[in-house]
Amino acid sequence: MVEIKTDAALEAMREAGRVVAKALEAVRGVAAVGVSLRELDETAREVLRAAGASSPFLGYRPHFAPTPFPAVICASVNDAIVHGIPDGYRLRDGDLLSVDCGAMLDGWAGDAAVSFTVGTPRPDDQRLVETTRRALEAGIAAAVVGARMGDIGHAIGSVGRAAGYGIPADFGGHGIGRRMHEDPPVPNEGRPGRGLPLRHGMVIAIEPMFLAGGSDAYLTDPDGWTLRTADRGRAAHSEHTVAITDDGPRVLTLP
């Protein structure tokens, strides 16, 4: 069931989203060559703690996971697509890092992700990151009252396919509200004019993930969480929580 949020709920979700944005900014600020993924997680934890927020990631255990998630961010490096567990790995020059973070504040969730390069960037990675971000913007622009879910997927998928990137079919965006993952699913590819009609008060996480090698195939690491490109090419991920309103899409996970 797709829950329609009240305007008061949208305001409350904006505050949760602001905490997520702060945490991602802080992580990006400390991410540098030699810094460990666990240190990035600690940085995000401090931001959540200071804001009085909790983490919807910590202890999360969806059907596919063998263990509860042990951190407040996902940190996915290079060929890891999403769901990377922050561990003792220390960032190296030229790494491509995707950080995903959520927050629960006053009972409402926010969810966003960003990809960026560490140290000296590879031109191919810059293009991948930029294209993923552009696809997110295209998806947000399509999230308007009167359009349909397929329009969002079409907008995202068109950007990725035009660039020659792979798009894993089984993972994408989702409704969000009192819980991080709600109906409806928000696929990263779709047919224009098809699918669920978009209404004022729907809140969704839009999250393109693109694979530079061009194949859609991925593998799951032995940890049961980390999704990795099957061709070992690099991947990027970009996400915002977005409210669909009569005044147009409202991005809730901005600073």
Binding positions for Mg ion, rule: CB under 5 A: 100, 111, 113, 205, 239
Count the helix, strand and coil residues of the chain and give each as a percent rounded to the nearest 5.
30, 25, 45
Contacts of 221 (CB under 8 A, 6+ apart): 80, 227, 228
Q: How far is the CB of 33 from Mg ion (least distance, A)?
A: 25
Q: Which is nearer to Mg ion, 131 or 188 (CB)?
A: 188
Residue 33 or 254: the one with the smaller Cβ distance to Mg ion is 254
- The CB density around residue 62, as the number of other CB atoms within 10 Å, is 10
Q: How far is the CB of 231 from Mg ion (least distance, A)?
A: 24
54 φ/ψ angles, rounded to the nearest 5 degrees: -110, 175
CB of 222 to Mg ion, least distance (A): 22
- In this complex, which beta carbon is closest to Mg ion, that of residue 102 or of residue 157? 102
Task: Report the residue number, 185 or 233, with the smaller CB distance to Mg ion.
Answer: 185
Q: In angstroms, what is the minimal distance from the CB of 173 to Mg ion?
A: 6
Contacts of 4 (CB under 8 A, 6+ apart): 199, 200, 201, 202
Minimum CB–partner distance for residue 155 and Mg ion (Å):
17
Burial class (CB in 10 A: 0-12, 13-18, 19+), 139: buried
CA distance 71 to 84: 10
Nearer to Mg ion, 125 or 239 (CB): 239
